[in-house]
């Protein structure tokens, strides 16, 4: 099958979960024998608008067809440009499927699929209208009508969680299929030879490490982890915290806000690193933490209270693939994914988080058993290859 994966709300090789998701899904399709072209926003000075290149078996097109339909002149110009390019790609390479990542300002491809006779699937990862326009009631209702009409152009709609499906189900008359995220078990796996990296980070042989990967978005709960780490260090001084992610400014703000904590000097901030390097650092850790806390996200707090936690975090599956025990807050469908591969604690309970970390650090047999279970779950249920296979099954059902 020849697939065009349209993800124009993502920049090429951006260091965040959006590009990670696009890259892994596209690679999974490619590994299963499909020819995949990926349309992304330009990213970086060397990757400009209009560029086409091949990398990792994928063909990338960098385009910026951004326009709300309410800005009709710009929308028409953008639509004509997109239609022309897709028609040319179909003629030159053949296209059997357009697989689109939903973004409100780039809504051309359901129409383009109809005009060119190409089946289209829509992937929805966030309730965009609720997040961006929920407080603007009149505009929200208008855009809701537009979204329903837009969704009707697609043969199928795919999302990550039951919570998100429940938010969207009134806007799509056909069945919405839930396909959870996953991990690449060939990349995220126990790594040989970690002594050199330990030395590079200044880790003593007796020191044990807690790991965190993610952005510094409030709902990621990094501040909860820092607060819990202070408690952990009061009971065990041999523990370090390794934080992967965050810009220089974000790291500086976190440090400034925690100057009074004695444990601050025991935190290692790596910042944003290239995606393939992450597993080697996670392998240094004895416990991996995902301390989600929706209560810290003032901008979305009421939405989470109303609709629930609609995310399916990629890092949770990548942690599990490393065969390390995971500690995570009990939000959304997290407990079902974890399924015995770690411990959960009540959202926002930093003392409960600290106690869970200490329990795993001090019980090697339990930690090992949970880590092995997590790795097994990825291989059996949550690999990207299985993710792609489920989407293929959806296509078969629609044929």
pLDDT digits (tens, 9 = 90+) for 148-174: 999 999 999 999 999 999 999 999 988
Asked if residues 65 and 41 have their Cβ atoms less than 8 Å apart, the reply is no
CA triplet 91, 93, 98: central angle to 5 degrees?
90
| Residue spans of alpha helices (H) in the chain | 17-31, 72-93, 109-116, 128-133, 137-151, 162-168, 195-200, 222-235, 248-257, 278-282, 301-307, 314-321, 334-338, 350-361, 364-380, 384-398
Helix (H/G/I), strand (E/B), else coil: 241:
strand
Task: Provide CATH code, domain 195-380.
Answer: 3.40.50.2000
Q: How many CA atoms lie within 13 A of 145 on its CB side?
A: 7
pLDDT band at 70 (very low <50, low <70, confident <90, very high): low
Report the C-alpha gap between 95 and 85 in whole angstroms.
12
Ordered DSSP codes for 169-190:
GGG-SSPEEE----B-TTTSS-
Distances, alpha carbon 210 to alpha carbons 57, 181, 360, in Å? 35, 24, 10
The yes-or-no answer to whether 2-182+384-398 and 195-380 have a common fold is yes
pLDDT in tens, 73-88: 888 888 999 999 999 9
The domain limits of the chain are: 2-182+384-398, 195-380
pLDDT confidence tier of residue 397, bands split at 50, 70 and 90: confident
How confident is the model over 278-291, as pLDDT tens digits? 999 999 999 999 99
User: How far apart, in whole angstroms, are the C-alpha atoms of residue 354 and residue 181?
Assistant: 27
One-character DSSP codes across 336-349: HHHTTSEEEE-TT-
Q: What is the mean pLDDT of the chain?
A: 93
What pLDDT, on a 0 to 100 scale, did the predictor assign at position 197?
A: 86
Mean pLDDT, residues 2-30: 93
Q: What is the CATH architecture assignment of 2-182+384-398?
A: 3-Layer(aba) Sandwich (3.40)
For residues 291 and 328, is the Cβ–Cβ distance under 8 A?
A: yes
Question: Where is pLDDT greater, at 328 or 45?
Answer: 328
DSSP code of 245? B
CA neighbor of 49 nearest in space, from 94, 11, 87: 11
Q: Is 195 exposed, middle or buried (0-12, 13-18, 19+ CB in 10 A)?
A: exposed
The 10s digit of each residue's pLDDT in 71-129 is: 778 888 889 999 999 999 999 989 999 999 998 877 889 999 999 999 999 999 999 99
- Rounded to two decimals, the pTM is 0.94
């Amino acid at each position: 099958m020849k697939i065009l994966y349209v993800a124009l709300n993502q920049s090429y090789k951006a260091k965040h979960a959006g590009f990670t998701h696009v890259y892994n899904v596209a690679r999974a399709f490619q590994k299963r024998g499909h020819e995949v072209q990926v349309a992304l926003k330009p990213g970086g000075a060397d990757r400009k608008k209009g560029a086409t290149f091949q990398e990792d078996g994928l063909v990338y097109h960098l385009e910026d067809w951004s326009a709300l339909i309410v800005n009709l002149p710009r929308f028409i110009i953008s639509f004509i440009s997109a239609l022309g390019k897709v028609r040319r790609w179909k003629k030159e390479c053949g296209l059997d499927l357009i697989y689109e990542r939903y973004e409100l300002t780039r809504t051309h491809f359901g129409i383009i699929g109809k005009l060119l006779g190409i089946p289209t699937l829509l992937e929805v990862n966030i309730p965009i209208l609720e997040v961006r326009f929920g407080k603007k009631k009149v505009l929200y209702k208008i855009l809701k009508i537009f979204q329903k009409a837009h969704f009707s152009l697609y043969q199928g709609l795919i999302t990550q969680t039951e919570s998100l499906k429940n938010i969207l189900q009134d806007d799509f008359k056909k069945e919405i299929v839930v396909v959870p995220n996953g991990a690449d078990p060939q990349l995220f796996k126990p790594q040989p030879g970690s002594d050199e990296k330990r030395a590079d980070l200044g880790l003593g042989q007796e020191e044990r490490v807690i790991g965190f990967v993610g952005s510094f978005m409030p709902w990621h709960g990094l501040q909860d982890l820092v607060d819990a780490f202070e408690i952990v260090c009061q009971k065990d001084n041999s523990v370090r915290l390794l934080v992967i992610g965050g810009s220089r400014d974000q790291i500086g703000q976190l440090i400034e806000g925690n100057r009074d904590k004695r444990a601050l000097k025991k935190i290692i901030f790596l910042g944003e690193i290239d995606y393939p390097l992450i597993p080697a650092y996670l392998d240094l850790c004895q416990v991996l933490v995902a301390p989600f806390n929706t209560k810290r996200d003032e901008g979305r707090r009421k939405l989470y209270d109303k609709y629930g936690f609609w995310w399916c975090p990629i890092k949770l599956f990548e942690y599990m693939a490393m065969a390390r025990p995971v500690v995570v807050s009990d939000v959304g469908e997290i407990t079902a994914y974890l399924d015995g591969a770690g411990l959960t604690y009540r959202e926002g309970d930093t003392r409960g988080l600290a106690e869970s970390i200490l329990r795993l650090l001090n019980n090697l047999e339990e930690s090992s058993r949970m880590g092995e279970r997590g790795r097994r779950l990825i291989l059996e249920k949550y690999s990207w290859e299985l993710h792609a296979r489920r989407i293929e099954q959806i296509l078969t059902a629609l044929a």
